[in-house]
Structure 1
Amino acid sequence: MLMPHPATLRELVEEYEALIAREAESGAAKTNQRSQDLAYTLCVSTGTRDVRLALEKARRQLAAAQRPVAPMPVRHTGAGVVEAREAGETVSQ
């Protein structure tokens, strides 16, 4: 599954939560079109069908994106070939 860029996902979550908070403060009985569009986009972006699940998954993805990722160990085999040890792929340089 494709994953949205963390910055894009963060913007979607923040805008959706701000709109929902404003709607709750104003006592709106129904959500406006923009919040519905954001809910749909969050669901599509996270592969869910419920906005609550989409928000949970988005938060997990954003938390994971902030963790540092260790570089993949590589081994130089000579003749301009670098071998990725864990992936088992070779890449010519």
Structure 2
Amino acid sequence: MLIPRPAVLRRLVEEYETVPAEEAATAGGARPSKRAQDLAYTLCVSTGTQELGRALEAAHRLLETIIPA
């Protein structure tokens, strides 16, 4: 399994977690934007998962393993 660069993975997670909150505040929480969809897809590919929840869990786990907080 390929392991994504920690800086890239951290940026993806941070940006994904920020984008939906901003969208909910401005669009009333309607359908996710293209950017949110792209980030979710990239997180899934980067972590070798097919579900966003699992991708976020895997990303956080990888970041803790690679660079403990």
TM above 0.5, yes or no, is yes
Matched, 1:10 2:19: no
Paired residue for 1:44?
45
Within a 5 Å distance, the mapping from 1:78-93 to structure 2 comes to none
How many residues end up aligned between the 2 structures? 67
More helix by share: 2
* Distance (Å, rounded) in 1 between the aligned partners of 2:58 and 2:46: 10
Q: Runs of 5+ in structure 2 lacking a partner?
A: none
* Distance (Å, rounded) in 2 between the aligned partners of 1:25 and 1:53: 25
Displacement after TM superposition at 1:25 (Å):
2.0
Which entry has the higher C-alpha Rg, 1 or 2? Answer: 1
Paired residue for 2:34?
33
Q: Runs of 5+ in structure 1 lacking a partner?
A: 68-93
Q: List structure 1 runs of 4+ shifted beyond 2 angstroms.
A: none
Q: Please, what is the CA RMSD of the aligned residues?
A: 0.9
More strand by share: 1
Looking at both structures, which has the greater relative contact order when contacts are Cα pairs under 8 Å and sequence separation is at least 6?
Answer: 2
